[in-house]
Structure 1
Amino acid sequence: MSLQHQAALAKKYIRYYFKSGNRHDVHSPFVYTLLDEVLNDRAFRPAYTPVEDLRKRLLSSDEVLQITDLGAGSLTGATNTRKVRDIVRHAAKPPKFGQLFYRLIQYFQAHQVLELGTSMGFSTAYMASAGATVHTIEGCPNIAAAAGKNIASLGLSGAVQQYIGNFDDELPRVLNGMPAPDVVYIDGNHREEPTVRYFLECLPHVKATSCLIFDDIHWTDGMERAWETIKAHPSVTLTIDLFFIGLVFVNPDFKVKQDFVLKF
Protein backbone atom coordinates (compact mmCIF):
# COMPACT_ATOMS: atom_id res chain seq x y z
CA MET A 1 0.00 0.00 0.00
CA SER A 2 1.46 3.36 -1.00
CA LEU A 3 1.91 6.15 1.53
CA GLN A 4 -0.66 8.20 -0.38
CA HIS A 5 -3.20 5.39 -0.15
CA GLN A 6 -2.44 4.89 3.56
CA ALA A 7 -3.02 8.59 4.20
CA ALA A 8 -6.32 8.58 2.28
CA LEU A 9 -7.53 5.50 4.17
CA ALA A 10 -6.55 7.06 7.50
CA LYS A 11 -8.63 10.16 6.72
CA LYS A 12 -11.60 7.97 5.83
CA TYR A 13 -11.21 6.05 9.08
CA ILE A 14 -11.19 9.26 11.13
CA ARG A 15 -14.43 10.33 9.45
CA TYR A 16 -15.93 6.89 10.14
CA TYR A 17 -14.80 6.95 13.77
CA PHE A 18 -16.55 10.23 14.54
CA LYS A 19 -19.64 9.27 12.54
CA SER A 20 -20.08 5.76 13.94
CA GLY A 21 -22.41 4.95 16.80
CA ASN A 22 -22.72 2.33 19.52
CA ARG A 23 -25.52 0.35 21.15
CA HIS A 24 -27.13 3.55 22.49
CA ASP A 25 -27.57 4.84 18.92
CA VAL A 26 -29.37 1.74 17.65
CA HIS A 27 -33.17 1.63 17.58
CA SER A 28 -33.52 -1.60 15.61
CA PRO A 29 -34.09 -4.62 17.91
CA PHE A 30 -32.38 -6.89 15.35
CA VAL A 31 -29.26 -4.72 15.14
CA TYR A 32 -29.19 -4.04 18.89
CA THR A 33 -29.16 -7.78 19.62
CA LEU A 34 -26.59 -8.43 16.89
CA LEU A 35 -24.36 -5.71 18.31
CA ASP A 36 -24.78 -6.89 21.89
CA GLU A 37 -24.45 -10.64 21.33
CA VAL A 38 -22.08 -10.84 18.35
CA LEU A 39 -20.19 -7.67 17.44
CA ASN A 40 -19.32 -6.71 21.02
CA ASP A 41 -18.70 -10.26 22.22
CA ARG A 42 -14.95 -10.51 22.89
CA ALA A 43 -15.12 -13.76 24.87
CA PHE A 44 -12.45 -16.32 24.03
CA ARG A 45 -13.47 -19.50 22.16
CA PRO A 46 -11.20 -22.57 22.09
CA ALA A 47 -11.71 -22.78 18.31
CA TYR A 48 -9.72 -19.55 17.90
CA THR A 49 -6.46 -21.05 19.17
CA PRO A 50 -5.58 -23.46 16.31
CA VAL A 51 -6.18 -20.78 13.68
CA GLU A 52 -4.05 -18.21 15.49
CA ASP A 53 -1.30 -20.76 16.15
CA LEU A 54 -1.23 -21.37 12.40
CA ARG A 55 -1.04 -17.62 11.78
CA LYS A 56 2.00 -17.37 14.08
CA ARG A 57 3.75 -20.19 12.23
CA LEU A 58 3.09 -18.67 8.83
CA LEU A 59 4.29 -15.24 9.95
CA SER A 60 7.71 -16.88 10.36
CA SER A 61 7.61 -18.69 7.00
CA ASP A 62 10.25 -17.99 4.34
CA GLU A 63 8.25 -19.79 1.65
CA VAL A 64 7.82 -17.80 -1.57
CA LEU A 65 4.80 -18.18 -3.86
CA GLN A 66 4.32 -17.24 -7.50
CA ILE A 67 1.22 -15.06 -7.55
CA THR A 68 -1.51 -14.66 -10.15
CA ASP A 69 -3.33 -11.47 -9.14
CA LEU A 70 -6.76 -11.13 -10.72
CA GLY A 71 -7.89 -8.24 -8.53
CA ALA A 72 -6.68 -4.89 -7.23
CA GLY A 73 -3.37 -6.18 -5.89
CA SER A 74 -1.41 -3.32 -7.36
CA LEU A 75 -2.56 -1.13 -4.47
CA THR A 76 -0.57 -3.30 -2.06
CA GLY A 77 2.62 -3.04 -4.10
CA ALA A 78 2.34 -6.74 -4.93
CA THR A 79 4.68 -8.39 -7.40
CA ASN A 80 4.38 -11.81 -9.05
CA THR A 81 6.34 -13.39 -6.18
CA ARG A 82 5.48 -12.91 -2.52
CA LYS A 83 6.58 -14.46 0.73
CA VAL A 84 3.91 -16.35 2.61
CA ARG A 85 4.58 -14.29 5.73
CA ASP A 86 3.95 -11.07 3.77
CA ILE A 87 0.65 -12.39 2.43
CA VAL A 88 -0.38 -13.31 5.96
CA ARG A 89 0.73 -9.96 7.34
CA HIS A 90 -0.82 -7.73 4.66
CA ALA A 91 -3.62 -9.66 2.94
CA ALA A 92 -5.12 -11.95 5.58
CA LYS A 93 -7.92 -10.54 7.70
CA PRO A 94 -6.82 -9.73 11.29
CA PRO A 95 -7.95 -12.09 14.05
CA LYS A 96 -10.83 -9.93 15.26
CA PHE A 97 -12.56 -10.20 11.88
CA GLY A 98 -12.06 -13.94 11.51
CA GLN A 99 -13.43 -14.35 15.02
CA LEU A 100 -16.36 -12.10 14.14
CA PHE A 101 -17.11 -14.35 11.16
CA TYR A 102 -17.01 -17.36 13.49
CA ARG A 103 -19.56 -15.71 15.78
CA LEU A 104 -21.78 -14.63 12.87
CA ILE A 105 -21.86 -18.18 11.50
CA GLN A 106 -22.88 -19.54 14.90
CA TYR A 107 -25.37 -16.74 15.62
CA PHE A 108 -27.17 -17.18 12.29
CA GLN A 109 -26.77 -20.98 12.45
CA ALA A 110 -25.35 -20.80 8.95
CA HIS A 111 -24.84 -24.13 7.22
CA GLN A 112 -23.71 -22.97 3.77
CA VAL A 113 -21.16 -20.21 3.16
CA LEU A 114 -19.91 -18.80 -0.13
CA GLU A 115 -16.53 -17.04 0.03
CA LEU A 116 -14.92 -15.11 -2.83
CA GLY A 117 -11.21 -14.91 -2.06
CA THR A 118 -9.68 -17.72 -0.01
CA SER A 119 -6.24 -16.09 0.45
CA MET A 120 -4.34 -18.22 3.00
CA GLY A 121 -7.56 -19.66 4.41
CA PHE A 122 -7.89 -17.94 7.79
CA SER A 123 -11.43 -16.62 7.31
CA THR A 124 -12.34 -19.91 5.65
CA ALA A 125 -11.05 -21.81 8.68
CA TYR A 126 -12.90 -19.63 11.16
CA MET A 127 -16.19 -20.09 9.33
CA ALA A 128 -15.69 -23.83 8.88
CA SER A 129 -14.72 -24.16 12.57
CA ALA A 130 -18.07 -22.58 13.44
CA GLY A 131 -19.91 -25.46 11.80
CA ALA A 132 -20.53 -24.29 8.23
CA THR A 133 -19.64 -25.86 4.91
CA VAL A 134 -17.57 -23.21 3.13
CA HIS A 135 -17.48 -23.02 -0.66
CA THR A 136 -14.47 -20.81 -1.35
CA ILE A 137 -13.14 -19.48 -4.66
CA GLU A 138 -9.52 -18.36 -5.15
CA GLY A 139 -8.07 -16.97 -8.36
CA CYS A 140 -4.42 -17.84 -7.76
CA PRO A 141 -3.66 -21.60 -7.95
CA ASN A 142 -0.56 -21.37 -5.73
CA ILE A 143 -2.37 -19.43 -3.00
CA ALA A 144 -5.28 -21.88 -3.24
CA ALA A 145 -2.85 -24.79 -2.81
CA ALA A 146 -1.25 -23.15 0.22
CA ALA A 147 -4.69 -22.45 1.70
CA GLY A 148 -5.67 -26.07 1.13
CA LYS A 149 -2.64 -27.21 3.14
CA ASN A 150 -3.48 -24.77 5.91
CA ILE A 151 -7.10 -25.91 6.05
CA ALA A 152 -6.00 -29.55 6.08
CA SER A 153 -3.54 -28.89 8.91
CA LEU A 154 -6.51 -27.67 10.98
CA GLY A 155 -8.51 -30.79 10.20
CA LEU A 156 -11.14 -28.82 8.30
CA SER A 157 -10.82 -30.22 4.77
CA GLY A 158 -14.14 -32.03 5.07
CA ALA A 159 -15.96 -28.75 5.71
CA VAL A 160 -14.37 -26.79 2.84
CA GLN A 161 -14.98 -27.00 -0.90
CA GLN A 162 -12.27 -25.18 -2.86
CA TYR A 163 -12.64 -23.79 -6.37
CA ILE A 164 -9.79 -22.24 -8.36
CA GLY A 165 -10.19 -19.72 -11.16
CA ASN A 166 -11.40 -16.30 -12.14
CA PHE A 167 -14.47 -15.27 -10.15
CA ASP A 168 -16.20 -14.28 -13.39
CA ASP A 169 -16.04 -17.91 -14.53
CA GLU A 170 -16.30 -19.77 -11.24
CA LEU A 171 -18.97 -17.80 -9.40
CA PRO A 172 -21.92 -18.76 -11.65
CA ARG A 173 -20.88 -22.43 -11.55
CA VAL A 174 -20.50 -22.47 -7.78
CA LEU A 175 -23.77 -20.65 -7.17
CA ASN A 176 -25.64 -23.10 -9.40
CA GLY A 177 -23.97 -26.12 -7.80
CA MET A 178 -24.27 -25.32 -4.08
CA PRO A 179 -27.29 -25.01 -1.77
CA ALA A 180 -28.57 -21.48 -1.14
CA PRO A 181 -25.89 -19.71 0.94
CA ASP A 182 -26.72 -18.51 4.43
CA VAL A 183 -23.67 -16.23 4.38
CA VAL A 184 -21.79 -14.73 1.42
CA TYR A 185 -18.36 -13.21 2.01
CA ILE A 186 -17.03 -11.16 -0.91
CA ASP A 187 -13.31 -10.59 -0.35
CA GLY A 188 -11.74 -10.46 -3.76
CA ASN A 189 -10.97 -8.12 -6.64
CA HIS A 190 -11.73 -4.95 -4.62
CA ARG A 191 -12.86 -2.96 -7.63
CA GLU A 192 -16.14 -1.14 -8.05
CA GLU A 193 -17.73 -2.79 -11.07
CA PRO A 194 -16.86 -6.43 -10.23
CA THR A 195 -17.94 -5.99 -6.60
CA VAL A 196 -21.38 -4.76 -7.64
CA ARG A 197 -21.61 -7.44 -10.31
CA TYR A 198 -20.79 -10.24 -7.85
CA PHE A 199 -23.44 -8.88 -5.50
CA LEU A 200 -26.03 -8.91 -8.29
CA GLU A 201 -25.04 -12.44 -9.33
CA CYS A 202 -25.41 -13.71 -5.76
CA LEU A 203 -28.69 -11.94 -5.06
CA PRO A 204 -31.05 -14.42 -6.80
CA HIS A 205 -29.42 -17.32 -4.93
CA VAL A 206 -29.48 -16.06 -1.33
CA LYS A 207 -32.21 -16.59 1.23
CA ALA A 208 -34.29 -13.84 2.77
CA THR A 209 -32.39 -14.47 6.01
CA SER A 210 -28.92 -14.50 4.43
CA CYS A 211 -26.12 -12.15 5.47
CA LEU A 212 -23.75 -10.77 2.83
CA ILE A 213 -20.36 -9.52 3.99
CA PHE A 214 -18.29 -7.14 1.87
CA ASP A 215 -14.61 -6.62 2.56
CA ASP A 216 -12.74 -3.28 2.38
CA ILE A 217 -15.78 -1.14 1.61
CA HIS A 218 -13.72 2.03 2.12
CA TRP A 219 -10.50 0.73 0.50
CA THR A 220 -10.78 3.08 -2.50
CA ASP A 221 -13.22 5.67 -3.80
CA GLY A 222 -14.42 2.99 -6.22
CA MET A 223 -15.16 0.56 -3.40
CA GLU A 224 -17.05 3.29 -1.55
CA ARG A 225 -19.15 3.86 -4.68
CA ALA A 226 -19.78 0.11 -4.88
CA TRP A 227 -20.91 0.12 -1.23
CA GLU A 228 -23.31 3.00 -1.88
CA THR A 229 -24.71 1.22 -4.94
CA ILE A 230 -25.28 -1.96 -2.95
CA LYS A 231 -26.90 -0.04 -0.08
CA ALA A 232 -29.29 1.64 -2.52
CA HIS A 233 -30.43 -1.59 -4.18
CA PRO A 234 -34.18 -2.11 -3.66
CA SER A 235 -33.63 -5.65 -2.32
CA VAL A 236 -31.37 -4.42 0.47
CA THR A 237 -33.29 -3.68 3.65
CA LEU A 238 -30.50 -3.25 6.21
CA THR A 239 -26.77 -2.46 6.12
CA ILE A 240 -24.12 -2.14 8.82
CA ASP A 241 -20.88 -0.27 8.07
CA LEU A 242 -17.99 -1.45 10.28
CA PHE A 243 -15.46 0.42 8.11
CA PHE A 244 -13.25 -2.51 7.12
CA ILE A 245 -16.27 -4.67 6.31
CA GLY A 246 -19.94 -4.10 5.59
CA LEU A 247 -22.88 -6.34 6.45
CA VAL A 248 -25.87 -6.47 4.11
CA PHE A 249 -29.30 -8.01 4.71
CA VAL A 250 -32.12 -8.52 2.22
CA ASN A 251 -34.78 -9.67 4.66
CA PRO A 252 -38.18 -8.30 3.55
CA ASP A 253 -39.38 -8.54 7.16
CA PHE A 254 -37.38 -5.36 7.82
CA LYS A 255 -40.13 -3.05 6.65
CA VAL A 256 -38.12 0.18 6.87
CA LYS A 257 -34.79 0.37 5.05
CA GLN A 258 -32.02 1.25 7.53
CA ASP A 259 -28.28 1.93 7.28
CA PHE A 260 -26.08 1.88 10.37
CA VAL A 261 -22.47 2.96 10.91
CA LEU A 262 -21.20 1.25 14.05
CA LYS A 263 -17.91 1.17 15.92
CA PHE A 264 -16.10 -2.15 15.83
Structure 2
Amino acid sequence: MTFPTLSYLQFLWQSKNEHAVHSPFVFNLLTKCFYDQKPKPAYSFLKTSLRENEKLRLDSSLSQKNGHFLYRLHSYFESKHTLVTEATDALAILALATSSATNKIKVITRTPSATLQEIVAAEAELDFTTTSLEEAINASGNELFNFIYFDNYSDSKKLLEDYITALPSITNDSVWVFNNLHQNKEKKETWEAIKQRAEVSVTVDTFHFQLVFFRREQPKEHFIIRQ
Protein backbone atom coordinates (compact mmCIF):
# COMPACT_ATOMS: atom_id res chain seq x y z
CA MET A 1 0.00 0.00 0.00
CA THR A 2 1.42 3.39 -0.98
CA PHE A 3 2.00 6.10 1.60
CA PRO A 4 -0.71 8.46 0.20
CA THR A 5 -3.25 5.62 0.21
CA LEU A 6 -2.48 4.64 3.79
CA SER A 7 -2.55 8.29 4.83
CA TYR A 8 -5.92 8.76 3.15
CA LEU A 9 -7.42 5.75 4.93
CA GLN A 10 -6.19 7.16 8.24
CA PHE A 11 -7.68 10.51 7.29
CA LEU A 12 -11.08 8.97 6.56
CA TRP A 13 -11.04 7.14 9.89
CA GLN A 14 -10.23 10.30 11.87
CA SER A 15 -12.17 12.92 9.90
CA LYS A 16 -15.33 14.66 11.09
CA ASN A 17 -17.93 17.02 9.70
CA GLU A 18 -19.46 20.21 11.05
CA HIS A 19 -21.60 18.36 13.62
CA ALA A 20 -18.48 17.46 15.61
CA VAL A 21 -17.10 21.03 15.63
CA HIS A 22 -17.74 23.32 18.61
CA SER A 23 -15.58 26.26 17.55
CA PRO A 24 -17.85 29.01 16.08
CA PHE A 25 -15.01 30.17 13.82
CA VAL A 26 -14.46 26.72 12.33
CA PHE A 27 -18.18 25.89 12.24
CA ASN A 28 -18.85 29.01 10.16
CA LEU A 29 -15.92 28.18 7.90
CA LEU A 30 -17.37 24.74 7.24
CA THR A 31 -21.00 25.69 6.77
CA LYS A 32 -20.45 28.92 4.81
CA CYS A 33 -17.39 27.92 2.77
CA PHE A 34 -16.51 24.22 2.77
CA TYR A 35 -20.06 23.01 2.19
CA ASP A 36 -21.31 25.89 0.06
CA GLN A 37 -23.01 24.10 -2.84
CA LYS A 38 -24.24 27.18 -4.69
CA PRO A 39 -22.92 27.44 -8.27
CA LYS A 40 -20.37 30.18 -8.95
CA PRO A 41 -19.81 31.91 -12.32
CA ALA A 42 -16.05 31.40 -11.81
CA TYR A 43 -16.47 27.63 -11.92
CA SER A 44 -17.39 27.81 -15.60
CA PHE A 45 -14.45 30.14 -16.26
CA LEU A 46 -12.01 27.74 -14.59
CA LYS A 47 -13.37 24.74 -16.48
CA THR A 48 -13.38 26.53 -19.84
CA SER A 49 -9.89 27.94 -19.35
CA LEU A 50 -8.40 24.53 -18.66
CA ARG A 51 -10.38 22.76 -21.38
CA GLU A 52 -9.40 25.27 -24.07
CA ASN A 53 -5.74 25.65 -23.13
CA GLU A 54 -3.62 22.51 -23.20
CA LYS A 55 -0.64 24.18 -21.49
CA LEU A 56 -2.75 25.14 -18.49
CA ARG A 57 -4.32 21.71 -18.32
CA LEU A 58 -0.91 20.03 -18.27
CA ASP A 59 0.28 22.44 -15.58
CA SER A 60 -2.47 21.47 -13.16
CA SER A 61 -2.70 18.53 -10.80
CA LEU A 62 -5.74 19.83 -8.90
CA SER A 63 -9.12 18.27 -9.53
CA GLN A 64 -12.01 20.54 -10.43
CA LYS A 65 -13.43 19.89 -6.96
CA ASN A 66 -10.24 21.10 -5.28
CA GLY A 67 -10.00 24.08 -7.60
CA HIS A 68 -13.54 25.09 -6.64
CA PHE A 69 -12.72 24.62 -2.97
CA LEU A 70 -9.66 26.87 -3.22
CA TYR A 71 -11.77 29.49 -4.99
CA ARG A 72 -14.39 29.41 -2.20
CA LEU A 73 -11.76 29.53 0.52
CA HIS A 74 -9.98 32.56 -0.92
CA SER A 75 -13.31 34.32 -1.52
CA TYR A 76 -14.50 33.59 2.01
CA PHE A 77 -11.57 35.34 3.66
CA GLU A 78 -11.62 38.31 1.25
CA SER A 79 -7.84 38.64 1.24
CA LYS A 80 -6.52 42.06 0.24
CA HIS A 81 -2.94 40.91 -0.28
CA THR A 82 -2.22 37.33 -1.34
CA LEU A 83 1.03 35.46 -1.90
CA VAL A 84 1.56 32.18 -3.75
CA THR A 85 4.94 30.57 -3.22
CA GLU A 86 6.57 27.69 -5.14
CA ALA A 87 3.75 28.19 -7.64
CA THR A 88 3.41 25.52 -10.31
CA ASP A 89 -0.28 24.61 -10.45
CA ALA A 90 -2.23 26.55 -13.09
CA LEU A 91 -5.69 25.75 -11.71
CA ALA A 92 -4.68 26.82 -8.20
CA ILE A 93 -3.42 30.19 -9.43
CA LEU A 94 -6.50 30.68 -11.60
CA ALA A 95 -8.79 29.83 -8.67
CA LEU A 96 -7.04 32.35 -6.42
CA ALA A 97 -6.96 35.00 -9.15
CA THR A 98 -10.65 34.79 -10.00
CA SER A 99 -11.62 34.98 -6.32
CA SER A 100 -9.34 37.90 -5.50
CA ALA A 101 -10.98 40.72 -3.54
CA THR A 102 -8.60 43.43 -4.71
CA ASN A 103 -6.61 41.91 -7.59
CA LYS A 104 -3.34 41.95 -5.63
CA ILE A 105 -1.64 38.59 -5.88
CA LYS A 106 2.12 38.02 -5.91
CA VAL A 107 3.16 34.70 -7.43
CA ILE A 108 6.64 33.34 -6.71
CA THR A 109 7.60 30.76 -9.31
CA ARG A 110 10.73 29.41 -10.93
CA THR A 111 9.02 29.40 -14.33
CA PRO A 112 6.67 32.38 -14.84
CA SER A 113 3.87 31.47 -17.26
CA ALA A 114 3.11 34.07 -19.91
CA THR A 115 0.08 32.03 -20.98
CA LEU A 116 -1.37 32.09 -17.48
CA GLN A 117 -0.79 35.83 -17.13
CA GLU A 118 -2.62 36.41 -20.40
CA ILE A 119 -5.63 34.28 -19.46
CA VAL A 120 -6.22 35.91 -16.07
CA ALA A 121 -5.35 39.45 -17.16
CA ALA A 122 -9.02 40.41 -17.13
CA GLU A 123 -9.62 38.78 -13.77
CA ALA A 124 -6.70 39.83 -11.58
CA GLU A 125 -3.34 41.52 -11.59
CA LEU A 126 -0.79 38.77 -11.03
CA ASP A 127 2.70 39.87 -10.12
CA PHE A 128 4.88 36.98 -11.29
CA THR A 129 8.38 36.99 -9.82
CA THR A 130 11.34 34.67 -9.35
CA THR A 131 12.40 36.47 -6.18
CA SER A 132 12.89 34.57 -2.93
CA LEU A 133 10.15 34.34 -0.33
CA GLU A 134 12.28 36.35 2.10
CA GLU A 135 12.64 39.15 -0.44
CA ALA A 136 8.90 39.12 -1.13
CA ILE A 137 8.08 39.33 2.58
CA ASN A 138 10.57 42.14 3.16
CA ALA A 139 9.33 44.07 0.13
CA SER A 140 5.73 43.95 1.32
CA GLY A 141 6.51 46.51 4.02
CA ASN A 142 3.45 47.49 6.02
CA GLU A 143 1.13 45.78 3.52
CA LEU A 144 1.35 42.28 4.97
CA PHE A 145 0.09 39.24 3.11
CA ASN A 146 -3.32 38.19 4.48
CA PHE A 147 -3.39 34.88 2.64
CA ILE A 148 -0.40 32.70 1.72
CA TYR A 149 -0.72 29.61 -0.44
CA PHE A 150 2.24 27.23 -0.27
CA ASP A 151 1.84 25.38 -3.56
CA ASN A 152 4.07 22.49 -4.62
CA TYR A 153 7.13 21.78 -2.49
CA SER A 154 9.27 18.79 -3.39
CA ASP A 155 11.64 19.53 -0.50
CA SER A 156 10.07 19.24 2.96
CA LYS A 157 13.04 20.95 4.59
CA LYS A 158 12.59 23.94 2.26
CA LEU A 159 8.88 24.02 3.10
CA LEU A 160 9.57 24.31 6.82
CA GLU A 161 12.25 26.92 6.17
CA ASP A 162 9.80 28.97 4.10
CA TYR A 163 7.17 28.63 6.81
CA ILE A 164 9.60 30.16 9.30
CA THR A 165 10.70 32.82 6.79
CA ALA A 166 7.08 33.96 6.36
CA LEU A 167 6.35 34.26 10.10
CA PRO A 168 7.11 38.03 10.28
CA SER A 169 4.09 38.58 8.02
CA ILE A 170 1.47 36.96 10.26
CA THR A 171 -1.39 38.85 11.84
CA ASN A 172 -4.30 37.60 13.90
CA ASP A 173 -6.33 37.18 10.70
CA SER A 174 -3.69 35.50 8.54
CA VAL A 175 -4.70 32.43 6.56
CA TRP A 176 -2.02 30.01 5.36
CA VAL A 177 -2.89 27.12 3.09
CA PHE A 178 -0.61 24.21 2.22
CA ASN A 179 -0.98 21.87 -0.70
CA ASN A 180 -0.99 18.09 -0.24
CA LEU A 181 1.15 17.46 2.82
CA HIS A 182 -0.01 13.82 2.89
CA GLN A 183 1.97 13.09 -0.26
CA ASN A 184 4.87 11.41 1.53
CA LYS A 185 6.26 10.67 4.98
CA GLU A 186 8.56 13.71 5.05
CA LYS A 187 5.78 16.15 4.17
CA LYS A 188 3.44 14.66 6.73
CA GLU A 189 6.12 14.99 9.40
CA THR A 190 6.56 18.63 8.40
CA TRP A 191 2.81 19.14 8.77
CA GLU A 192 2.88 17.63 12.26
CA ALA A 193 5.77 19.94 13.18
CA ILE A 194 3.87 23.01 11.94
CA LYS A 195 0.76 22.03 13.92
CA GLN A 196 2.72 21.96 17.16
CA ARG A 197 4.36 25.36 16.79
CA ALA A 198 3.50 27.90 19.49
CA GLU A 199 2.22 30.59 17.12
CA VAL A 200 -0.35 28.24 15.56
CA SER A 201 -3.80 28.25 17.15
CA VAL A 202 -6.08 26.34 14.77
CA THR A 203 -5.38 23.93 11.93
CA VAL A 204 -7.82 22.27 9.55
CA ASP A 205 -6.73 19.27 7.50
CA THR A 206 -8.89 18.41 4.48
CA PHE A 207 -6.38 15.84 3.23
CA HIS A 208 -5.57 17.70 -0.01
CA PHE A 209 -5.25 21.08 1.73
CA GLN A 210 -3.90 21.96 5.16
CA LEU A 211 -5.06 25.26 6.70
CA VAL A 212 -3.27 27.17 9.45
CA PHE A 213 -4.65 30.05 11.54
CA PHE A 214 -2.97 32.27 14.12
CA ARG A 215 -6.01 33.65 15.94
CA ARG A 216 -4.92 34.55 19.48
CA GLU A 217 -8.46 34.31 20.87
CA GLN A 218 -8.81 30.68 19.73
CA PRO A 219 -7.74 27.74 21.88
CA LYS A 220 -5.25 25.47 20.17
CA GLU A 221 -7.24 22.88 18.23
CA HIS A 222 -6.60 20.60 15.27
CA PHE A 223 -9.47 19.56 13.00
CA ILE A 224 -9.56 16.79 10.42
CA ILE A 225 -12.48 17.61 8.17
CA ARG A 226 -14.00 15.90 5.16
CA GLN A 227 -14.06 18.48 2.40
Same fold by TM (over 0.5)? yes
Once residues 209 and 86 of structure 1 are traced to their aligned partners in structure 2, the CA distance between those partners, rounded to angstroms, is 34
Contact map agreement 1:125 1:156 (CA 8 A) in 2: no
Structure 1: gaps (5+ residues): 64-83
Is 1:9 the counterpart of 2:8 in the alignment?
A: no
**TM-score computed with the length of structure 1 as normaliser:** 0.79
Matched with 2:121 is 155
Deviation per CA, 1:137-177: give whole Å up to 9, x if none. 112x3xx22xx322322334752110126xxxx11111112
Contact map agreement 1:151 1:157 (CA 8 A) in 2: no
RMSD: 1.8
Contact map agreement 2:134 2:165 (CA 8 A) in 1: yes
Once residues 117 and 129 of structure 1 are traced to their aligned partners in structure 2, the CA distance between those partners, rounded to angstroms, is 19
Is 1:216 the counterpart of 2:188 in the alignment?
A: no
**In terms of mean alpha carbon deviation, does 123-132 or 34-43 score higher?**
123-132
Once residues 6 and 87 of structure 2 are traced to their aligned partners in structure 1, the CA distance between those partners, rounded to angstroms, is 29
Which residue, out of 33, 42, 47, partners 2:37?
42
Is 1:19 the counterpart of 2:21 in the alignment?
A: no
Number of aligned residue pairs: give it: 223
Contact map agreement 2:100 2:124 (CA 8 A) in 1: no
Deviation per CA, 1:69-88: give whole Å up to 9, x if none. xxxxxxxxxxxxxxx65433
Which residue, out of 137, 142, 148, partners 2:108?
137
User: Measured at CA, do residues 107 and 177 of structure 1 come closer, stay the same or move farther in structure 2, by a change above 3 Å?
Assistant: same
Once residues 97 and 185 of structure 1 are traced to their aligned partners in structure 2, the CA distance between those partners, rounded to angstroms, is 14
Contact map agreement 1:128 1:156 (CA 8 A) in 2: no
1:210 CA displacement: 0.7
Matched with 1:99 is 68
Comparing both chains, which one has the higher relative contact order based on Cα–Cα distances under 8 Å and sequence gaps of 6 or more? 2
Matched with 1:128 is 97
1:101 CA displacement: 2.1
Counterpart amino acid of residue 121 in structure 2: G
**TM-score computed with the length of structure 2 as normaliser:** 0.91
Matched with 1:225 is 189
1:109 CA displacement: 1.6
In percent, how many aligned pairs have the same letter?
A: 22
